[in-house]
Amino acid sequence: MSDAEKNSADLVRLLYDTDKSVRNAAAIELGSRGAEGFAAALPLLSDASWIVRYRACEIIGMTKQPEAFPVLLKTLADPRDHVRYMAVKGLGTFGDSRALPEIVRMLEDENPFVQRIAGKVAAELSKISE
């Protein structure tokens, strides 16, 4: 295992920390690592903990890797509203109007916070598609 991979593995372990600020710092660092961060976060989307899935979704969005787009679209169906929220937010970072139909569908999500971020992202994507 390379030093970079080891460091990524250490950061992934920090995503399970009980301190929210530690989890946040680890997510930001992994998100800044592009393909490396994407690869580290992808398996976490199937974690039993919604908190870990939320952070994984956040990381994947931050990496802005082309392969992240379909992953985030799929994650819109997560059973946990926090994860759906972060999937919508992550899709917004791409600025890709192909996500607009799915984002508009999220305006009908059961959670008002998901609806709110979907409205914001839909408005931004609508401007891009004009």
Instruction: Give domain limits for the chain.
Output: 3-129
Non-local (6+) Cβ contacts of 20 within 8 A are none
Look at the pTM and tell me if it is higher than 0.85: yes
pLDDT tens-digit readout, 43-86: 999 999 999 999 999 999 999 999 999 999 999 999 999 999 99
Per-residue burial over 71-94, b = 16 or more CB atoms within 10 Å of its CB, e = otherwise: bbbebbebeebbbbbbbbbbbbbb
CATH code for the part of the protein at 3-129: 1.25.10.10
What is d(CA 128, CA 130) in angstroms, rounded to the nearest whole number?
A: 6
Report the pLDDT value the prediction gives residue 1, as an integer from 0 to 100.
46
pLDDT tens-digit readout, 13-33: 999 999 999 999 999 999 999
Q: Higher-confidence residue: 130 or 64?
A: 64
